[in-house]
Amino acid sequence: MNPEQFEYAAVLALEDGATFYGRPFGAVEALRAGRRGEVVFATSMTGYQEICTDPSYRGQMVVLTYPLIGNYGVAPGDDESRRPWLSALLVREYSEAIYHWHAGEPLDRYLARHGIPGLCELDTRALTHHLRTHGTLRGVIRAYPANEAPNVAALVAEARAVRTVTELNVVAEVSEGAPSTEWPAPDDPEAPRVLLIDAGYKHTIARQLASRGLRVVVAPHDITLREVARLRPDGVLLSNGPGDPEGVQHLVAITRALLWDLNLPFMGICLGHQLLGLAAGARTSRLPFGHHGANHPVREVRTGRVTLTSQNHNFQVESASIPMQSGLYVSHVNLSDGSVEGLAHESLPVFSVQFHPEGAPGPEDNHHLFDRFAVLVREHAGRPARLVLAG
Count the neighbouring beta carbons within 10 Å of the beta carbon of residue 322.
20
- Cα dihedral 123→127→128→133 (10° resolution): 150
List 270, 273, 291, 313, catalytic entry: 270
What residues contact residue 154 under an 8 Å CB cut-off, 6+ apart?
A: none
Asked if 270 is an active-site residue, the reply is: yes
220, 171 contact by CB (below 8 A): no
For the question of residue 356 being annotated catalytic, the response is yes
Contacts of 308 (CB under 8 A, 6+ apart): 294, 295, 296, 297, 298, 362, 363, 365
Instruction: Provide the H-helix boundaries in 88-233.
Output: 107-113, 124-134, 152-160, 170-174, 203-210, 225-231
> Which residues sit opposite 296 in a β-bridge?
309
For residues 40 and 190, give the distance between their C-alpha atoms in angstroms, rounded to a whole number: 44
Which residues neighbour 149 within 8 Å (Cβ) at sequence distance 6 or greater?
none
Q: Which of 273, 296, 345, 356 is catalytic?
A: 356
Strand partners, 42: 64
Dist CA 65 CA 134 (whole Å): 17
Catalytic residue among 38, 50, 158, 358: 358
From 232, 255, 265, select the one nearest 387 (Cα to Cα). Answer: 232
Rg for the chain, CA atoms, rounded: 21
Is the distance from CB of 195 to CB of 221 less than 8 angstroms? Answer: no
Give catalytic residue positions. Answer: 270, 356, 358
